Amino acid sequence: MRRRAGVGAIQKQRLEQEKYREKGSEIQENQFQQMSKQLDVFRENLEEFATKHKSEIKKNAQFRRQFQEMCAAIGVDPLASGKGFWSVLGIGDFYYELGVQIVEVCLATNYKNGGLITLEELRMRLIAARGRGKVHQEITNEDLLVAVKKLRIFGNGFTVVPIGKGKWLVQSVPGELNLDQTLVLQKASALGTAWVSLSILTDDLGWNETRAQNALNHMVKEGLAWVDSQDSKETLYWFPSMFSECVAA
The residue ranges that bind another protein (CB under 8 A) are 111-112, 114, 195, 220-221, 223, 226-231, 236, 238, 240, 243, 245-246, 248-249
Collapsed DSSP state (helix, strand, coil) of residue 2? coil
| Closest CB to another protein among residues 89, 200 | 200
**Shortest distance in whole angstroms from residue 169 CB to another protein:** 18
- Is residue 175 exposed (0-12), middle (13-18) or buried (19+ Cβ within 10 Å)? middle
| Closest CB to another protein among residues 102, 247 | 247
Alpha-carbon gap, residue 38 to 53, rounded angstroms: 22
| Closest CB to another protein among residues 208, 229 | 229
Query: What distance, in Å, lies between the first and last C-alpha atoms of the chain?
Result: 109
**Shortest distance in whole angstroms from residue 94 CB to another protein:** 33
Alpha-carbon gap, residue 128 to 112, rounded angstroms: 18
How do beta strands 236-238 and 195-197 pair?
antiparallel
**Shortest distance in whole angstroms from residue 159 CB to another protein:** 20
**Shortest distance in whole angstroms from residue 223 CB to another protein:** 5
| Closest CB to another protein among residues 105, 148 | 105
**Shortest distance in whole angstroms from residue 200 CB to another protein:** 15
- Is residue 190 exposed (0-12), middle (13-18) or buried (19+ Cβ within 10 Å)? middle
| Closest CB to another protein among residues 69, 245 | 245
Q: How far is CA 199 from the centre of its chain?
A: 35
Give the contacts of 144 (CB within 8 A, at least 6 positions apart): 98, 102, 119, 122, 123, 126, 170
